[in-house]
Structure 1
């Protein structure tokens, strides 16, 4: 019997029991769709958390920590392959007071090497990188936190009344000159000297809304000058004014892990986003395997319907099987015909399940943010980039293999039973 004839044979018998076959396909579809949708939750949550991590920090950044009093071996680290920049930001243990016209801001200042900052791909929302020692870069929220005394009092009142804050500098800061002075945390008096700096750049908006960036970045050539002013203004023993943080930037994300391992080999304590992602991937691997296992149970339940349908098909076709054997049909051919029928049920059920799963996933990602936002009373929740369900092609392949394999296994036993039917008894069976 040609393969085309075998397909026609299977199709004809399926048409004879449309309702029963339809219900069997429906059960297989529901089981496979449940498997895909359930597992897609794990993929969706993992995708959301990976995006949160990658948006929250520079993905090529490796934080380096040294023992107390130990300095980084810059030349040795620079020789490490794929190290793109070494950024050391030095902060001062004093408060920085910035004055622009009649507005002021108390914040933090960091000394840095702008050449290395540029190599690390420091992003600016406007302006450029400094080229002179009296040029600075300020944080994205620097302008809105430059307040007059009246605005500061009004803001304190608004906070007590839980009202929206007002004020801030509304114009562009590029090209503006700010006067800065230093003030000890232990005293309200500022040090006698102050300096004028020109703002030439504003950093990019932080990835998280709750982060407020009012930092000031200036060239590290000012370190000795600030230390001198501090020593002259503080009586008694002068502790070290500065403390540093060091960050290594690799050429791409794929090299973060190798650079991290090499820095550990040098004896440094390091932290990078790759380590966090690895821990996250291990957790979600176990989580997704658990979801797929639970979903497979639904497919196995659906297999009971396929088994019953195929068993009934063998029973109803006993005489037909006897005729086929009498005219020379081999047991392998008979078995293949019934396996093709069970496989057809599995394939149709899987195709429908995949289509339904993508529709459910789309609706979930569209509707659930609105429902959760309404339940929590947060109108902006639906605007968050949160993925509730994600169906990658790997999940479709895994679910399809499981569903079709279970369908064929369910039809194997009835198919074997069909090959063992006695020809004489089958022909004696009444129509």
Structure 2
């Protein structure tokens, strides 16, 4: 029996029982679609969390921490390690930097670093260039916003009270210095954090660069960065001892993300306390892997329920077509051929249901990602759901392959028993059956 004739045999029965086959395909579609959509939630949340972490962290960065300060020999040793691109020592000043410009002032964090290494790590600035002279500095993206005068502070206070009465918060973005800071000279002094400490004398610096905008809108970056050549000047201008004034932080940058783990292992072997965001990502991936397996398992139950309908449909098909099966056997059809015909029918139902389910799942996923943030905003009154890039549902090709394999596999298994029953029908009794 030619393959074309086998297809004709299957399609004739499908056309003859359109309603029954349609309902069976519908059940298979619902089961497979439920599996894909349910599992897509796990994939979507994992993708959102990974993007959240990666958007705020450099994936090639390795943090080295500990109470002891790092010596020049240690830093040189780390720089010589294979696949280490840069070692950036960022020294934080243990005092608040008080900046004065015209009638405005602000308070910010102050960092001292090697500007060549800092440029290699940070890359392009939002505005300006990197310092070439010791008295040139870089400021954070929001530095101008935090440069306030008395009039600005009064306006911010009024707007904050009004926003608080309305149950919201005012961040002060409309106030501050709005012109370019490049080339502007500011006076900087150090105010120790200890209560009752005296502010140091003012020193003049020129702003030559502005950092890139922070990853999140709610982040306010008004930090100040200057060259390590200014360390001695800061010490001599402050009453704080050098050992108490500076705190060193060493960050290692690998050439690629793939080489982060080997570098981490080497550093740990040497006794360094290190951390990388890739370790956090590995932990998250394990947690979500378990979650996705659980969701796929729950979704598979829906597919198994749909398989009951396929089993019933194929059992009815065998019963209704007993005479046809007898005729096929009488003209020499083998049991394997008869079994294949009914398995083809159940497989067709599984494939058709899966194809429709995949299309429906993508439509549901797209609609969910588009409308759910709006619904949550309307329900909670929070703008975070709309402004934040959250993926509620994600359907990768791997999920489609897994779901399709489960759905089609279950459909074939459901049709196997009725197909085997068809091969055991007695020819004489089948031919005696009345039409």
Query: Does residue 302 of the first structure (1) align with residue 306 of the second (2)?
Result: yes
Structural mapping, 1:391-430, within 5 Å: 391-430=395-434
CA distance in 1, matches of 2:364, 2:156: 46
Q: Secondary structure at the match of 2:163?
A: coil
Residue 252 of structure 1: how far off its partner (Å)? 2.1
Q: Residues 342 and 411 of structure 1 are in contact (CA less than 8 Å); yes or no, is this contact kept in structure 2? A: yes
Q: Deviations over 1:264-309 (max 9, x none)?
A: 1211111111001000000000000000000000000000000000
CA distance in 2, matches of 1:313, 1:151: 82
Q: Residues 84 and 119 of structure 1 are in contact (CA less than 8 Å); yes or no, is this contact kept in structure 2? A: no
Structural mapping, 1:16-415, within 5 Å: 16-69=16-69, 71=71, 73-162=74-163, 164=170, 165=172, 166-185=174-193, 186-187=195-196, 189-192=198-201, 194-230=202-238, 233=239, 240-379=244-383, 381-415=385-419
Q: Secondary structure at the match of 1:191?
A: coil
Which sits farther off after the overlay, 165-174 or 45-54? Answer: 165-174
CA distance in 2, matches of 1:250, 1:419: 65
Which sits farther off after the overlay, 125-134 or 351-360? Answer: 125-134
- The 1:65–1:172 alpha-carbon spacing in structure 2 relative to 1, beyond 3 Å, is same
Q: Residues 136 and 226 of structure 2 are in contact (CA less than 8 Å); yes or no, is this contact kept in structure 1? A: yes
Residue 154 of structure 1: how far off its partner (Å)? 3.7
Q: Residues 85 and 117 of structure 1 are in contact (CA less than 8 Å); yes or no, is this contact kept in structure 2? A: no
Residue 224 of structure 1: how far off its partner (Å)? 1.4
CA distance in 2, matches of 1:107, 1:162: 25
Gaps of 5+ in 2: 165-169
CA distance in 2, matches of 1:265, 1:188: 43
CA distance in 2, matches of 1:27, 1:40: 20
Gaps of 5+ in 1: none
Q: Secondary structure at the match of 1:133?
A: coil
Q: Secondary structure at the match of 1:190?
A: coil
| RMSD of aligned alpha carbons | 1.6
- The 1:238–1:51 alpha-carbon spacing in structure 2 relative to 1, beyond 3 Å, is closer
Which sits farther off after the overlay, 239-248 or 312-321? Answer: 239-248
- The 1:259–1:238 alpha-carbon spacing in structure 2 relative to 1, beyond 3 Å, is closer
TM-score (norm: length of structure 2)? 0.94
CA distance in 1, matches of 2:326, 2:411: 25
Which sits farther off after the overlay, 61-70 or 23-32? Answer: 61-70
Residue 123 of structure 1: how far off its partner (Å)? 4.2
Residue 156 of structure 1: how far off its partner (Å)? 3.5
- The 1:144–1:428 alpha-carbon spacing in structure 2 relative to 1, beyond 3 Å, is same
CA distance in 1, matches of 2:19, 2:69: 80
Q: Residues 45 and 389 of structure 1 are in contact (CA less than 8 Å); yes or no, is this contact kept in structure 2? A: yes
Which sits farther off after the overlay, 294-303 or 84-93? Answer: 84-93
